[in-house]
Amino acid sequence: MSEAMETVYERPHALLPVVTNYCPGCAHGIVNRLVAEVLDELDVEGRAIGVAPVGCSVMAYDFFGCDMIEAAHGRAPAVATAVKRVHPDGVVFAYQGDGDLASIGMAETVHAATRGENITVIFINNAIYGMTGGQMAPTSLPNQVTQTSPFGRNVDTDGYPIRVCELLSTLDGVAYLERVTVDSPKNVRKAKKAIKRAFQNQMDGLGYSLVEVASTCPTNWGMSPADAFAWMGENMLPYYPLGVYKDVVADGFASAAEAAAARSAACPIAHPENAEGECA
């Protein structure tokens, strides 16, 4: 046995030594850490600019060590778009919850994605509004009881939940979409791999990348953290299956732009380079 002690676990540099506001058992802490580990491993904290949302992670600007901007509710993709346009060499990410990203900010999300903004979005889907105390979210499940669906989400009147990865997968500007979870060490490792891909894609200029993390809200679901993960596995994952929803590289393209060009190959105006014998 060696005398020297080996460090096997420490706080990532990109995570500040502060106490977070997250509830005990909340998965935000895990995902915050994964993002920070990735910033460390890619050595980009110094040129990273993060955009925090409104919701439980509203104060993430105090947790991440990189430069941070607090956005208005739902507007993180618009803010991140502009930051990336000003600093193309920066590494720009938005960290958003389901109400922020898929309800009030859906227009900003869809348009940042379809513009192919070269940003990274981390999306925490826990099927409820946590910060305001447990209201129905755009991703709350059918019959899920929340403060504002006290008799359970009635799809006849409240409509259906939105599957964000599936929705965004039709858009040409998107390079990479994956839904992961963090309910086990194995899944945490897979989540980190996905988050790292999403940042690496940005650095490689591939297009818009989003990682959706199927998550929990023990406080507002009224469960222990372990029961909450069990409920999530039983109810959310069948509705929101894990997996890769778009990966232009796996599809054989260099970038979202190249994939989009292939998809629109038959459209003449989209491909002036194919015009024959005509002056432009």
Partner 1 sequence: MAPANDKVLMKGNEALAEAAMRAGCRFFFGYPITPQTELAAYMAKHMPGRGGTYLQAESEVAAINMVYGASAAGARVMTSSSSPGISLKTEGISYMAGADLPGVIINVQRGGPGLGGIQPSQSDYWQATRALGHGDFQVVVLAPSTVQEMADLAYEAFDLADKYRTPVMILADGMLGQMMEPVVLPDERSLDSLPEKPWATVGHGHKRAHNVVNSLYLTAEELERLNIERYERYAAIERDEQRAESYLTDDADIVLVAFGGAARIARSAVNLARAEGIKAGLIRPVTLWPFPADAIEPVAERGARFLTVEMNMGQMVDDVRLAVNGRAPVAFYGRTGGVIPSPEEVLDQIRALDAEGGDAA
Least distance CB 203 / partner 1 (angstroms): 13
Least distance CB 211 / partner 1 (angstroms): 21
Is residue 246 within 8 A of residue 114, CB to CB? The reply is no
Q: Is 207 left (phi over 0), alpha (psi -120 to 50) or beta?
A: left
Nearer to partner 1 by C-beta: 107 or 226?
107
**Exposed e or buried b per residue across 182-217, where buried means at least 16 C-beta atoms within 10 angstroms of its C-beta:** bbeeebbebbbebbbbbbbbbeeebbbbbbbbbbbb
Residue type at 125?
N
Least distance CB 98 / partner 1 (angstroms): 19
Least distance CB 43 / partner 1 (angstroms): 10
Nearer to partner 1 by C-beta: 174 or 232?
174
CA-nearest of 265, 129, 142, 244 to 193 is: 244
| Chain contacts with partner 1 (rule: CB under 8 A) | 16, 45-49, 51, 58-59, 61-62, 64-72, 75, 78-83, 85-87, 90-91, 107-108, 110-111
Nearer to partner 1 by C-beta: 90 or 240?
90
Nearer to partner 1 by C-beta: 83 or 124?
83
CA-nearest of 209, 212, 231, 21 to 98 is: 212
